[in-house]
Homo-oligomer: A and B are copies of this chain.
């Protein structure tokens, strides 16, 4: 419920206003559904406030396209053409990011993931966006491709008012400790358990 009141007032020397405007680091983790979906739902709110949004999907295939991507591209177009909402960028790792030029057999997923994080680091330093979704970003952390300590340090020192949402299973404990908002999605029941396959409009 958004009307919630804080239970305690922290002894951090900040005014309520400063605290209200503190940039958020959110983590959606756990084995259940809805981690990415809820992050994109948050991005809808951010878009509506006119925030500049950048999504970075750390996925192995750039071919896979979820409906959210298409919908956000339409919302980004509304911004570009009519000034409604915020700007939207949507980047997928796949076999290389749009700003790199790698092809086929030369692709090293670990290196590509590191390239993605390096670009995000530059953008955070430059305050390029207001709202970042780092989708499936826990996996390169878990696999040791990107240093969790470095990510936490970069996010802790980020300038301005840049919100960051990170999704994926098995978020490192240090990242959870560093985050302001952590939700674990637990699978209670999933249709694939009953032998159903994914379907149009639901899974993609």
Listed in ascending order, the chain A residues whose CB lies under 8 Å from chain B are 2-10, 12, 16, 19-22, 24, 27-30, 32-34, 36-42, 44-49, 51, 64, 66-68, 70-72, 74-75, 78, 84-85, 130-131, 163, 176, 179-204
Contacts and interface: CB of A to CB of B under 8 A. Distances in A.
A182 B187 CA distance: 7
Which 9 pairs from chain A and chain B are nearest by CB? Answer: A45-B67, A37-B41, A48-B67, A34-B38, A182-B188, A49-B201, A10-B195, A41-B41, A38-B38
Copies of this chain in the oligomer: 2
A140 to B, nearest CB: 15
Nearest to A45: B67
A185 B188 contact: no
A4 B37 contact: no
Contacts of A33: 38, 181, 183
A161 to B, nearest CB: 10
A173 to B, nearest CB: 11
A34 B131 CA distance: 17
B204 A2 contact: yes
A71 B42 contact: no
B45 A201 contact: yes
A44 B34 contact: no
Nearest to A131: B201
A136 to B, nearest CB: 9
Given A6-B197, A41-B37, A74-B84, A191 B181 contact: yes
